[in-house]
Amino acid sequence: MGKIWFTATNPRTSGVGPALARSAALLGAALLVAGCAGTETSVRTSSAPGGSASEVSGAPRSGAPGSGLPGSETPAPGTSAPASGAPGPGAPGPAAAPRGLAEEARQGTEAIRGAVEAEAREAEARKAALLAAARRWGLPRAPLLAPPPPRTTSLPPTRRGFGVNGPRTRGLPPVFTRVPTRDRVVFLTIDDGVDQDPATLRMLRELHVPYTAFLSDDAVDGGWEYFRAAHEQGASLQNHTLLHRYLPGLSRAAQRHEICGMQDTLRRHYGRAATLFRPPYGSYNRDTLEVARSCGIRAVPLWEAEVFPGRVVYRDSDLHPGDLVLTHFQGRAQWNGSMADALRTFLRTVTEKGYAVARLEDYI
């Protein structure tokens, strides 16, 4: 029986759509049966880079002359050897593949070609729609699309200089401003919840920008339906305390009220508490981290850069892969500009620097 190789990549991560995957599977099955029938077939199909590929090859059953296999004997004097690949007199020929299998293989090849073309058309349509949305929101270029997230993740270690002193610090939630990654991605985080302009959610949705919202109860001020809509369109809702107070100036009990109380609020409105916590002003002490851990917090993400309408302020000198970027749900009452202005500044900056916006929770 001939050798058969057939491989198919994951449609979600390779860019190959379900229709193409099904067609490749059909073709592989048909060619497998054809190979079992003894046919010699060579078929190669390919899609876009990273797509599915299949290859089938076979060889005649008879051995080559001199191989010691049946059919390889040296011809007797006065006789001639059969032509290469042809059966000798009276020898049965190779089994012919059923006509239906050949037709299935042809149809599979056509289906793959059609699916590749359909995938390409859909990709172009998505690109055109994203570019149109970017222009609608005043951006010169469409945001770059993030690569597939890593298959395995782990929490970043506490950034050097951001830890707390004393014994028994092991096991405290790590405090970090950057996620270790080689991907050219950054992470958008939005704090508080004061400004609840529907245009903000529409802009983030139309531009396919993932983000993590760190909410304070006093800032949301009853506008939980607004953030329910944000959550339904993909936003992650996390803990930023009840009253946005300076935590190191509070007792341990008062900090517990702020942090664990906000956990209860999130659970009441959305059915689950947060796993990430951002202390107001980025300020915390040992009590803060211990209380946060006791309330179910896994990590304390801070930020490397902060965005305002028209400007970006960096902790270091520039953006780096894996940086967390901060802005706020604020509007003209708090800024000299709108929330959309701040998002335009953010997206224009990261796109010009060659970064895509990824979902933080996919990386930690």
Q: Which of 34-43, 86-95, 324-333 has the lowest mean pLDDT?
A: 34-43
For position 25, what pLDDT does the model report?
55
Higher pLDDT, 76 or 281: 281
Banded model confidence at residue 37, pLDDT cuts 50, 70, 90: very low
**Cα separations in angstroms, 167 against 164, 172, 210, 256:** 9, 11, 38, 21
Check residues 149 and 49 and name the one with the higher pLDDT. Answer: 149
In percent, the amount of the chain with pLDDT more than 90 equals: 62
User: Encoding tokens for residue 116?
Assistant: 């590749």
Higher pLDDT, 107 or 327: 327
Going by their DSSP bridges, the two strands 212-215 and 236-239 should be labelled as parallel
In terms of phi and psi (left: phi > 0; alpha: psi -120 to 50; beta: otherwise), the region of 347 is alpha
- 76-80, 126-130, 169-173, 327-331: which has the minimum mean pLDDT? 76-80
Supply the DSSP symbol for 279. Answer: -
CA distance linking residue 291 with residue 296, whole number of Å: 9
Lowest mean pLDDT across 34-48, 74-88, 229-243, 251-265: 34-48
pLDDT band at 179 (very low <50, low <70, confident <90, very high): very high
Assess whether pLDDT exceeds 80 at residue 312: yes
Mean pLDDT of 320-342: 95
Per-residue model confidence (pLDDT) at position 28? 58
Say yes or no to pLDDT of 232 above 70: yes
pLDDT of residue 42: 42
Please name the amino acid found at residue 112.
I
First to last CA, the chain: 49
Of 57-66, 72-81, 103-112, the one with minimum mean pLDDT is 57-66
Give the residues across from 291 on adjacent strands: none
Assessment of whether the complete model's pTM goes beyond 0.75:
no
Mean pLDDT, range 143-165, rounded to an integer: 94
